[in-house]
Amino acid sequence: MAPDPAAFPKDLLSPLASDELKARIYPLIAIADEALTANLTSHVPYIEKVSSYIIFSGGKRLRPVLFLLAAAALGREGDPRLAAIFEYLHAATLLHDDVVDEAGLRRGRPAARVEYGNDSVILVGDFLFSKSYSLAVEVPDIRFVTALSDCTTIMGEGQVLELLHTDDLELSAEGYLGVIKAKTAVLIAAACQMGAIYAGATDAQVEALYDYGLNLGLAFQMVDDALDYVGTAHEFGKPVGHDLAEGKITLPFIHVRDTAPAEARARLLELARLGRQDASQVEEAKALITAHDGVDATYQAARRYAALAQAALTRLASPARPGSEMETLLALAAYVLERRH
């Protein structure tokens, strides 16, 4: 069930300016990149080639950074090798998604499936899943690999859910939340959860960081879905308006479908049924969704989940002192609303 909107925190803290936050994050990104390179080994060089194509084509490294921050916030320096788990899993899902979606562009260049073919990228995606587990089993705390197993199970369910809801013009807001939780948010949550487990945290601390990551992930995906209607291909690294053209029903569409005047709703549904064949109809649908506050409402929802993420951190004993990792985690929840790609 979706949380009661009345229970959402009203205030969102933004303890760091964007430049200061980036200055803290960039060294962690560099650490993650080194680990990704060092651990991307295979007896088959072609696997490394295809893996590198997707992993080093860009990306924010949000998931490995969160693992490192969560561990450090609870007093233990995170192992960069383990941080690589989350980027390998993320890359694997991107490879598989691009095959399902028949994507032509990813991160501003031809998708890996275009370069190497569907068969190759599916098998390399499977390799990256396996590589993640081979790293996770090195941690003696059984909670670590259990958390990963729970996460990947839900992610698999999310991929099927998204497929089942393709062109589902009646998808509810609650159903949408279920899809993005499974597809996106659980991996971000697991990165935070497993960082806490690695640090030897209590179950209560692990749960708090999981909740932080889950709500952060929901906010992140909602912003992503809003940008699909108002961003540019240059900012986004892939065609905008692509979700509706692929039959993906997201919150901007759902909001307008459920709240706009009857004439606008009827036209939007008509365009959604036709839009997969005609780009001009997708553009008209985008204009309708923007004009009837679909994007604004999605950003408002994202803001509420970002505030919930920050509220989860208050359950931890560690204060958000200036310069602390806890302060950085708070700032990330605010910063996710500012992203443009």
Domain ranges of the chain: 15-338
Q: Is the pLDDT of residue 119 over 70?
A: yes
Mean model confidence pLDDT for the chain:
91
CATH topology of domain 15-338: Farnesyl Diphosphate Synthase (1.10.600)
Q: Is the pLDDT of residue 115 over 50?
A: yes
Stated pTM of the model: 0.92
Q: Is the pLDDT of residue 10 over 70?
A: no
pLDDT for the residue numbered 57: 87
Q: Is the pLDDT of residue 112 over 70?
A: yes
pLDDT for the residue numbered 102: 84
- Across 273-295, average pLDDT: 86
pLDDT tens string 204-247? 999 999 999 999 999 999 999 999 998 765 555 555 667 888 88
C-alpha distances out from residue 222 to 189, 249, 298, Å: 15, 12, 6
Q: Is the pLDDT of residue 6 over 80?
A: no
- Across 13-36, average pLDDT: 93
Q: Interior CA angle at 85 toward 80 and 86, to 5°?
A: 105
Q: What is the 3-state secondary structure (H, E, C) of 301-312?
A: HHHHHHHHHHHH
Q: Is the pLDDT of residue 328 over 90?
A: yes
Dihedral of CA 86/322/20/30: which sign? negative
- Across 100-109, average pLDDT: 83
Most confident of 103-117, 163-177, 235-249, 265-279: 163-177
Q: Is the pLDDT of residue 30 over 70?
A: yes
Residue 2 burial class via C-beta count within 10 angstroms: exposed 0-12, middle 13-18, buried 19 and up: exposed
